[in-house]
Structure 1
């Protein structure tokens, strides 16, 4: 099965095509430092043979987190515990990335006021964010750059820049949340400028042989927002700086979404075809047969399985065993196979 075949991105050789996407655990504290729970959570999925594990949304600044319980990477004090997770995951043959994020107007913590490209709140319950000055924008670009340096020091195999789900980069990309009249607003090229500057800065410090991923929301589910054609244009504008696109949808505004198994796969397929770049498909994919169809038909290169891996950290091992596939089953658990 192609799902269980190796896949190589730059110097990162994945033992299968299954990805654990970043999912917030809200299990740190105001320090943003990873703890024993995070170590157990991620290393358990590595024992379970997941090919690529992406650590949850991690704030590049204190007010870049969604909540005060999210992980952080804005200070060197975060490196040691993250490195422990990286080493643990790598010890079991899995690769590991970290998602770098700034929440923008979705920040709900207590460190400072939320910020955004324009002073438009997320919903009726949210506070009005502070509109970013150009100097503050430059500061956040530097935050991403410094975060990438720390991620490299921690030994991560890849990084993922979070440009989806209504967080700050997405807020700049969408005309629904970006009403700026300077060079960061207006047409698609201007709205993409912030993302492009982040990627340029990150590329200066991230090793050339290591993978850079980008998470995007390819559709805003509201008239006047981002469409798949817009996202193709955005990706083509910045694809020289990235190696793979992790394709999701929504999150910018409160809107009802008709979600069903594989509901986002066509977006990944379109970007793969029209941008000529590898993609990760995600969205209620819970079955290896679904993953196999997506990969074998060339609709995406990797498949992210989130909720099922929360329910069953040994999903990959068990699926391979049930299909009599050759997999390196942990010696300690082989008694269960008799």
Structure 2
């Protein structure tokens, strides 16, 4: 068996393999409530072959919504919808299910990506809500100047993360991931580009890290130890005045001491106009390797991981413990199943699709000529996943 499809652990949570579906906003919620689209989308991800599926960035309070189509987890109706969603997803596979909690900070009140690819602030006539931030600095020209948070507001949002985590417990999620990257509120506190405060929440790196750490502590307090707690971390702002990898490693060490089980190492997006190196396959893997090797913390690599052999090499080399993919799963919702075949692994298939399993379909090697698992190389054994009517089928 490949290392990509070997079991792995996030804290006390056991995963069948080391392949993760990264959170992907669908901009399809109504009043923050999950809709049928979410079941269709996430249902596909549950039968993709991944060991963990993480639900999209979900706001912890109304002002934390990025768009009107964002998911929320701050009221009973949202919790009820997500509880039903998780229950339905559990019937589809044994993959674990997580959710990412966020507050978009100064990036709130924008159009959705389908409306305009890069997003843009909602105009006054469309009733935008007031963004919040550590400092009153607009994201870009034409964007709202956010309200600078006072002590009361900061404490309210920390508590909101904890309350949303409690709702996630009741909804049945296996994992919570705190979003501390991509220019959203937690990242805004971390970066000197966006945090100009001179009180106990800004200035030195210790003070800039304080908000992230307080959020992590609050969530850890209410999140069961047998379920996993993660943190998506910005590795660098790609700007001489911004946060650096050294800053990220210092924060990762603090998060580890708090009880965070893993980090996902991303980068960039703190402000427009910053020159970022072109994205190439695996361009952020080195960040995961740094935190894993220097801090000794479980690390998840993300960013342009496109090929099964590339993913396998990342795990085999020790650069990361897990790999998280987003757009590859949108492009091919069976990415994990095909990756297993390419690596020569025979993993469980959904019973309904068993006739397309590599060793049950002679056509597989023709459709996937680079696979190491054509029907002629695998024993035509009884499918692991179960069904009395399943038989090898050459159709």
Report TM bin, short chain: over 0.9
Matched, 1:247 2:265: yes
Q: Provide, for residues 113-154 of structure 1, a one-character-per-residue CA deviation record: whole Å limited to 9, x for no partner.
A: 101000011111311101001100000011101000000000
Matched, 1:165 2:182: yes
Give the secondary structure class of the aligned counterpart of 1:192.
helix
CA contact (8 A) 2:73 2:79 kept: yes
- In structure 2, the residue matched to 1:89 is 89
Measure, in 2, the Cα distance between the counterparts of 1:310 and 1:240.
Answer: 35
Q: TM-score, normalised by structure 2?
A: 0.83
- In structure 1, the residue matched to 2:289 is 269
Q: Provide, for residues 286-323 of structure 1, a one-character-per-residue CA deviation record: whole Å limited to 9, x for no partner.
A: 11111111100100000011111001111111222344
- In structure 2, the residue matched to 1:223 is 240
Q: Provide, for residues 172-229 of structure 1, a one-character-per-residue CA deviation record: whole Å limited to 9, x for no partner.
A: 0000000001000011110111111111111221112211000011110111101101
Runs (4 or more) in structure 1 with deviation over 4 Å come to none
CA contact (8 A) 1:105 1:167 kept: yes
Q: Report the number of matched residues.
A: 337
Measure, in 2, the Cα distance between the counterparts of 1:323 and 1:216.
Answer: 30
Measure, in 2, the Cα distance between the counterparts of 1:325 and 1:216.
Answer: 32
Which is greater in Rg? Answer: 2
Unaligned runs of 5+ in 1: none
Q: Provide, for residues 2-34 of structure 1, a one-character-per-residue CA deviation record: whole Å limited to 9, x for no partner.
A: 0011112233211111111111111112x1000
- In structure 2, the residue matched to 1:69 is 69
CA RMSD for the aligned pairs?
A: 1.2
Matched, 1:289 2:309: yes
Matches within 5 A, 1:4-153: 4-29=5-30, 31-91=31-91, 92-108=93-109, 110=127, 112-153=129-170
Unaligned runs of 5+ in 2: 111-126, 362-393
| Larger helix share, 1 or 2 | 1
Matched, 1:181 2:198: yes
- The 10-residue stretch of structure 1 (53-62 or 80-89) with the greater mean CA deviation from structure 2: 80-89
Q: TM-score, normalised by structure 1?
A: 0.97
Measure, in 2, the Cα distance between the counterparts of 1:324 and 1:291.
Answer: 14
- In structure 2, the residue matched to 1:199 is 216
